[in-house]
Chain A
Amino acid sequence: MASRLTELFGASRTPRGDVALSLAVLALAGIMWWQALKIPPPFFDPLGSAVVPKSVAIALALFAAIMLLRALNARPWPARERETGYRPRPDIAAGIFLLAAAYVGAMALGLLSFEIATILFLAAGTALLARFERRTVLLGAAIALLLGIGGTLLFTHVFYIDLPR
């Protein structure tokens, strides 16, 4: 049976990620189905509002189940692939994402104006991505000041965007 399924659907080449993804998609499909059940039946519309969400939830669950099966078929899982030629930096990727979220959050909560938040984000973001290399950090700080002040003037006075204050 297992070999039949392996032959039919194949085996995953990225099983670890696929397991995580398929579980997340199964959860999403479950939430969609649960929400679609709350939609009242249609009065005059032949299709109604619930049919498409339910169908998509079934499709998602089906594809996620196949992906999970493909990941399980790939056991024993191969060793993680290592990048050659450079060192991946998940710390910097996570750092820049958190910095971006903090930048947006500070403006959303009204803690900082667009101008100040942008100057801080640009300076800190450049420093992080440059691994705090002195020359780039200084250059980044100068660009941050220029774009923070100049950008605010440009967007508010030329494009008339009401930026967070």
Chain B
Amino acid sequence: MVTDLFGALAYIASPVPFFWVLLGTTLGIFVGAVPGLTGGMLIALSIPLTFTMNSTHALILMVAMYVGSVSGGLISATLLKMPGTPSSVMTTFDGYPMAARGEAGRALGLSIGASLVGGLVAGVFIVVLSVPLSRWATTFGPFEYFAMVLMALVLIASISQGSMVKGLLAGALGIAFALPGLNPSDGQLRLTFGWHELDAGFDLLPVLLGVFVMSQIIIDALEIEKKGQPISVGGAKVLLSLSTWRRHWGNLLRSSVIGTWIGILPGVGASISSMVAYATARSVSKEPEAFGTGSEEGIVASEAANNANVGGALIPLITMGIPGSPIDAILLGALILHNIQPGPLLFVNNADFVWALIAAYLVANILMFAIMTLCVKWIARLMVVDRALLLPVIFVACVVGCYALHNRMFDVWVMVFFGLVGFAMARCKVPLGPFVIGFVLAGILEEDLRSGMQLSDAGFWGILDRPIALGFIAVSVLTLIWPFAQSALARRARDRRAKETTT
């Protein structure tokens, strides 16, 4: 394991891979720093540009973009009170008040340092957990894999932000849109409405570009008048002393572990990690009243957790082919487009590739720290870039990316259609994460169910002989009924209290 890791680190340190990691991290930071542009947007847009690239280079570029974009969001969250990425929303609560009282440099320093620690702690978890988890996953049969994907979808839908029903609806919609086309098992066309362009179904790239990029363009156009006045960093020192970090080490470690752990849960994005870490830090703090007014602990908790989430979310992706977050769903799509089969066998068949991704993740975190520490003052100027100039160019890039896929305009129309779908979902507060993950995992779900039924004499009920699969299904059922059980228990307790008061 250690030899593999050092081998991969040496590979990433060689000029070409290092260039891609550096480029990806830098672009990610830039995009993360501009409110309205997101890491998902950048990575989805980059996929068509990487078609001609070596697949390892393409994926390390995207992993570096992921790390950079989650970190870049802290700059606008701190200086503009507008989270550059959704995961930085908790940083605005304390980063901005701290910057507003003249401590912008210290707020940024804390955020950048916490991001590095969060990223590296999650890196340790990836290195330690990936090999045993992927070995365990290789023992799975089709029923186990089916049940695991089902559990992932239920978890994604239940834990993602907003109401549980909307999360489940989003997941089901994702599966629904993945169904049209030829069913490879029996050669039947379904849900194509006699439209031959749909025979191969909706391609992943136009769907991703539609829901992540086109919909964001419409949202940005709607909010085009939303502007902020950034606080200047001036000549403030961003690199903080070791004594500052010694004071925060407990919070750093706790928030990083929370971020990693939540990241491992499928589909739960970095924003929830930072919310949970922030709430935990406040509950154990000696000065909980300072949270929301420029508390250093709040900044550290939020940023350590959201960066740790990136690493945590990579674990199920590389070990089992289950995306840990919406951006991981894009990475999963990129793996498929680069002809790399995701799943438990990824580690067995492409160990060097997986170690290269892990090494790229670690190096990207270190580069992120260096770039942000040295250049934060200049990157901060990007926040006020005019979106009127950017958005049309981004749309043209989407059009070219979709068209280049099969040289047909149908894919471009698909992107435009899913842009509208994504926009409508965002307006109705239906989370996009479960939708994308449902779309990506639908094929695997159906295929494994079919294989399991073919392998068992008892058909579907053969699942009853598979304890691991049953365990996954039990978790899914518990996740689904827990909110109802919780409200029933609360109601009973309330009734009992009311009765006691009356007597």
Contact = CB atoms under 8 A, between A and B. Distances in A.
A77 interface: no
B255 to A, nearest CB: 29
A108 B412 contact: yes
Nearest to A22: B169
Interface of A: 7-10, 12-14, 17-18, 20-21, 24-25, 28, 32, 35-36, 39-40, 42-50, 52-53, 56-57, 59-60, 63-64, 66-67, 70, 83, 85-90, 92-93, 95-97, 100-101, 103-104, 107-108, 118, 121-122, 125-126, 129-131, 136, 139-140, 143, 147, 151, 155, 159, 161-164
Interface of B: 52, 163, 165-166, 168-169, 172-173, 175-176, 179, 183, 185-186, 188, 190-191, 193, 214, 217-219, 221-227, 386-389, 391-393, 395-396, 399-400, 403-404, 407, 409, 412-413, 416, 419-420, 424-425, 427-430, 446, 449-450, 453-454, 459, 484, 487, 491
Contacts of B224: 89, 92, 129, 131
B225 A104 contact: no
What does DSSP make chain A's interface, helix, strand, loop or mixed?
Answer: helix
B186 A45 contact: yes
Residue of B420, B450, B454 with most partner-chain A CB within 10 A: B450
Contacts of A49: 183, 185-186, 188, 190
A64 B453 CA distance: 30
Contact of A143 (B214, B393, B399): B393
Contacts of A63: 165, 168-169, 172
Contacts of B403: 161, 163-164
B186 A43 contact: yes
**Among all A-B residue pairs, the 8 with the closest Cβ atoms:** A125-B392, A129-B388, A130-B388, A93-B222, A49-B188, A63-B169, A108-B409, A17-B428
A49 to B, nearest CB: 4
Contacts of B222: 88-90, 92-93
A8 B486 CA distance: 10
Given A63-B172, A92-B222, A163-B400, A121 B449 contact: no
B179 A52 contact: yes
